[in-house]
Amino acid sequence: MKVSKTEANKAIAALREELNRHNYLYYVLDQPEITDAKYDQLYGKLVALEEQYPELVTADSPTQRVGGAAGAGFQTVHHRIPLLSLNNAFSEQELGDFDQRIKRLTGAENPAYVAELKIDGLTVALTYQDGVLTQGATRGDGVTGEEVTANLKTVRTIPLRLRGTPPGLVIVRGEVYMNKGDFETLNRTREDSGETLFANPRNAAAGSLRQLDPKITAARRLDGFFYDLLWWEQAGDNGPATQEDALTQLKEWGLKVNPTSTLCASIEEVITFCRRWQGERLTLPYEIDGIVVKLNSLQAQAEIGTTAKAPRSKIAFKFPAQEVETQVREIIVNVGRTGAVTPLALLTPVQIGGSVVSRATLHNDDFIREKEIRIGDTVILRKAGDVIPEIVRVVKEKRTGEEREFQFPTACPVCGSSVYREPGEAVTRCLGAACPAQLKEFIIHFASRGAMNIEGLGPSIISMLLTREMIKDPADLYALTFDQLLTLERFGEKSARNLLTAIERSKATPFDRVLFALGIRHVGAEMARRLATSFRSIDQLLSATKEEFLAVPDIGEAIAESVIHYAGEEQNRRLIHKLKQAGLQMALAPELQEAALPLTGKTFVLTGSLAVLTRSAAEEAIRRLGGKPGSSVSRHTDYVVAGKDPGSKYQKAQELGVKILDEDEFQNLLQEAAARQEREEVDC
């Protein structure tokens, strides 16, 4: 019997609320109130009503968890708040050093911390607009990630609508993971069907979340814990004052928070927490790889700020690495994109830290000599930081006399050119300017996800293109034709079109990532962003002097000399000219050109609590208009913005004569700057 639309709307709203409540009780609190059969009955009623009136289906309906049609790919998301990584501590002494830094930076005698288990999963950010989940994204490189909203909606512990009355805009950070039991079940199923097994639960979670078909993700039984409130946007409310309060708020909204998170009154209590879970980690149903320690005061967190890579107020304590015994079967050498000749030990495969390891880097000739590693040796292998396989020592008492010493090559094993080790350096480098191994590794780096992100252009295809002499440098990728690609092994029309589309799409890659893609020594992704922002175009960058480089924060002698050396090489100049001709972004986009923004060159320091804007929103507004938020007051500070209960920064600003703005004056300054920018854009 068909009900009226008005009646259906009321019934759907009631069923939606009831089912979401039962999902929360079952998946988050583990306290079900009804049987599975009763839940299925309610769910069936909702499905039937929504089928009658599909226009009444909402984004927060439980029926939207099952996953829709498979997509063609993932869109790139620019994170409103960067998802920074954490600095690591590998010992209790380093935790003590962290505590001393916090005391020095904050002036607090006894800072409190929150200690949380570091879940070994995939970091995600969820955005809720008016309480409804509108976007879910992976961390990616911290600045940009992939939108995986449809897949995250299939994770039962993630609420489609927040409980209570949340602010208009909320962004939270958490970790999606796979339980050990579900991981083992998944691998058994894959083994039975002849599919490749996942190495560990983290890889399984990452692979499951990045499925183009949400139905596959839904079948993988992912879970999640949430631990950071990144954005809170509500007039007159600055949100929680402490990390402990933030976790409580997340729980009240229906997000799953790890129940082991603990408020610690001192670093000694933090160390006790770390010792406990180091011993009990194997009893947990999920993998952890350490403890995250956070300063409890969110105001103090904001005031001491971040470095380019990590917040100063947080640290990850990494558990001591696991160790196993294995054998060195052979030693080979690899040649990297910068010419570094790196020895690599091929090992008898061994299980360690949740994955199978069959090789380990030997770094350089000095490392081999210091450890006295020989081919055939029995060695102790460690996964340092639970990530990188590392040979700790040789078990010399197990030597048989048949072991062979390794002779470091005097010529490049790939091109035959001489190798050279600069005085004071540990790395030996190939001197062959046209070394195929260097070129291949360079193009692999150029096409990688963090650089130009040319999807589908992997090492095997790059090898074919080089072997067939279709490319001689990365710029040649942009001259490839459909007919050329069809001549490659296993290339059909569809794969050729897909690759050409990916190459064409990469032309829109922002300037900072193009700069990173160039593979300049010492210039990683973070430094590329800093250089792009400071010099704004490739021409300005390559013509800069050493003094101009050293004037930029965080740029030292090594980076300055490396970029200047790169700029002086004719082959690099030719490559950049070809990339320009191909249409790559060799300057900041006009909207990002700081010189065109009204607050360019102005530094702001915030202190105290703001009534209208959150601290992060205020800092974002400053950046958007070209200004720079600072963490400490100096003679170079242009403005100190003083909210309620300002701290020592207010007094220092008075002492130094720095202009102090109250919140109303700050808002007026922002509005005037924004209006000026709009007028300039209209004039253009």
Residue 242 DSSP label: B
- How many other C-beta atoms are found inside a 10 Å radius of the C-beta of residue 575? 17
DSSP string, 328-380: EEEEEEEE-TT-EEEEEEEEEEEEETTEEEEEEE--SHHHHHHHT-EET-EEE
Strand extents, DSSP E, 101-147:
113-119, 122-129, 132-138, 144-146
Burial class (CB in 10 A: 0-12, 13-18, 19+), 137: buried
Cα 577 versus chain centre, distance = 32
CA separation for the pair 290, 117 (Å, rounded): 6
Q: Is the dihedral of CA 524, 463, 453, 482 positive or negative?
A: positive
**CB 114 within 8 Å of CB 296:** yes
H or E stretch including 288? strand 288-295
- What value, to the nearest 5°, has the Cα angle with vertex 363 and ends 359 and 366? 130
Tokens of 525: 């992704």
CA separation for the pair 159, 600 (Å, rounded): 41
Q: Is the dihedral of CA 12, 14, 17, 19 positive or negative?
A: negative
Single out the residue of 435, 422, 128 nearest to residue 255, CA to CA: 128
Of these residues, 2, 38, 45, 118, which one is catalytic?
Answer: 118
534 — phi, psi (to 5°)? -80, -35
Single out the residue of 67, 50, 46 nearest to residue 214, CA to CA: 67
**CB 513 within 8 Å of CB 526:** no
CA separation for the pair 342, 441 (Å, rounded): 13
H or E stretch including 179? none
- Strand-pair partners of 352: 355
Strand 419-420 to 323-335 pairing: unpaired
Residue 460 DSSP label: H
CA separation for the pair 231, 524 (Å, rounded): 28
Q: Helix, strand, or coil here: 267?
A: helix
Residues in the chain: 684
Is 580 tagged catalytic? no
Single out the residue of 99, 96, 117 nearest to residue 291, CA to CA: 117
H or E stretch including 317? strand 314-318
**CB 68 within 8 Å of CB 211:** no
State the catalytic residues: 118
